[in-house]
Structure 1
């Protein structure tokens, strides 16, 4: 699962990484949450004459995919993630997987390790970022949902896969990362059918990410500053108070 992530790169760095036209200025975002607008990249049929840029455009979409066939958005569950193993055949994602594959720029994501309650250890948040730094691209899916009054909302979901060995001790799922050399193939929904890009929706190599334990500030959407990514000591199990010795029932007592 991926329920929170960050995008702290500059618009210039994002534009260069995805080979886009210059983006308007926007602030770093340290705690992106479901239902918020997120930056997405998609193939575009529009291209300026003489431009050497690929046919890509960046725009904002609501994080939480709503299939086009849904009548009432309020009565449909929020689909922030799409499982890569089942997206091709699942009704909610089938059309988007075939026609509207996107890239979602990110600087990293947050995940929580949740030990058994009996362990006495509280859930521990981790900031998971690429070791090399910079921008990365999550695989995503998009749908444009139309309401009864004719208004439209672009919506998106992040694709997930089984966690690799470097993340598995924290959570069993992780976002699918698309490498720059595969951007064109992933975004090409005209000639590349879902089965032809299935090899791209796999766990990234085990040494790609590093996981830093951080405080529970990230739990609250209102917290949005860089302090969210400041490393902290990992929580330890609470020590149980020493048990009182059990009296030997075979001995006599004055009490």
Structure 2
């Protein structure tokens, strides 16, 4: 899954990487969390009649998908991610998969290796970024939810797929990465059915990302500076202590 990510590149770089018509400046965000606004890219109209160049637009949506048929958001779970393998068959995501596919620009994401208690290992956070740097585009879905009073909220989710071998040691899921050559096909919901873009929702190649162990500062939403991406020593497996009886006449404090 993807529960935290970052977008720290300058707006000009994001604009050029996603071929956007325009993009206002924005601050670097090192710890983007659920329910916060996230920058997404949607397909737009053609720049000129007869032009083959797409006009893509950027907008902000709330990270936490709400299907249009939900009556009360308080009674509906927060959908940060959608499983790419089943999104088109799920009632929550079916319409968005057909009509509202988006790109979510990022400079990387965070994932946690949370072993079982029996293993004796400690949890470890990782900052996962493209090995060659730059901006990555995650596949996403969006929906505009309307309340009873007529107000509207644009919402979004990130699509995930099974982890490739290099990421599987950390977690069994990872975001779907859309390569620049496939941006137009992914965003084209007029001529490209979900079945036509199913091949894009595969794990990214093995050497695309690198995982940097980081501290647990990223766990707190209030920590939003570059220090949360500082490398730390990777936590190693810890042997489970053997149970021993306390010495006669001594009380155990544990």
Verify same fold: TM over 0.5: yes
Q: Which moved more, 1:139-148 or 1:231-240?
A: 231-240
Q: How far does the alpha carbon of each residue in 1:17-54 deviate from its partner, in whole angstroms, 9 at most, with x for none? A: 01112311111000000100000000123747898852
Deviation of the 1:118 alpha carbon = 2.6
Alpha-carbon distance, 1:15 to partner: 0.3
Corresponding residue for 1:24? 24
> Where does the alignment leave 5 or more consecutive residues of structure 2 unmatched?
247-254
CA contact (8 A) 1:145 1:152 kept: yes
Instruction: Output the CA distance in 1 between the equivalents of 2:82 and 2:240.
Output: 41
Question: How far has the Cα of 1:165 moved from its partner?
Answer: 0.7
Give the alignment of 1:133-172 within 5 angstroms. Answer: 133-172=133-172
Which is higher, the Rg of structure 1 or of structure 2? 1
Distance 1:244 1:136, change over 3 A: closer
Q: Is the 8 A contact 1:101 1:142 kept in 2?
A: yes
Structure 1 contact 108–128 (Cα < 8 Å) conserved: yes
Aligned to 1:249: none
Structure 1 CA distance, aligned partners of 2:70 and 2:241?
54
Distance (Å, rounded) in 1 between the aligned partners of 2:240 and 2:76: 45
Aligned residue for 2:90?
A: 90
Task: Give the Å deviation of 1:115.
Answer: 1.4
TM, length-normalised to structure 1: 0.91
Q: What is the TM-score with the length of structure 2 in the denominator?
A: 0.92
Structure 2 SS opposite 1:23: coil
Structure-2 separation of matches of 1:82 and 1:243: 43
1:138-217 equivalence runs, <5 A = 138-217=138-217
Measured in 2, the distance between the counterparts of 1:221 and 1:244 equals 41
CA distance in 1, matches of 2:100, 2:83: 16
- Aligned pair count reads 247
For 1:76, the equivalent position in structure 2 comes to 76
The whole-number CA distance in structure 1 between the counterparts of 2:197 and 2:240 is 52
Is the Cα–Cα contact under 8 Å of residues 19 and 53 in structure 1 kept in the other structure?
Answer: no
The answer to whether the 8 Å contact 1:142/1:157 transfers is yes
Ranges in structure 1 where 5+ consecutive residues have no aligned partner: 247-255
Deviations, residues 167-205 of structure 1 (Å, cap 9, x unaligned): 000000000000000000000000000000000000000
CA–CA separation in structure 2 for the residues paired with 1:216 and 1:50: 52
Q: Could you tell me how far 1:236 is from its partner in structure 2?
A: 2.8
The residue aligned with 2:249 is none
Q: Secondary structure at the match of 2:127?
A: strand
Q: Distance in 2 between matches of 1:77 and 1:242?
A: 41
Cα distance change on mapping 1:166 and 1:204 into 2, 3 Å: same
- Residues 1:41 and 1:243: Cα distance change in structure 2 (over 3 Å): closer
Task: Name which of structure 1's ranges 20-29 and 74-83 shifts more when overlaid on structure 2.
Answer: 20-29
Task: Report if the CA contact (8 A) 2:97-2:194 is conserved.
Answer: yes
Q: Which secondary structure state, in structure 2, belongs to the residue aligned with residue 57 of structure 1?
A: strand
**How far off its partner does 1:232 sit?**
0.2
Change in Cα spacing, 1:242 to 1:151, as seen in structure 2 (3 Å) is closer
Distance 2:87 2:114 in 1: 26
Relative to 1, partners in 2 of residues 1:240 and 1:68: Cα closer, same or farther, differing over 3 Å? closer
Aligned to 2:219: 219
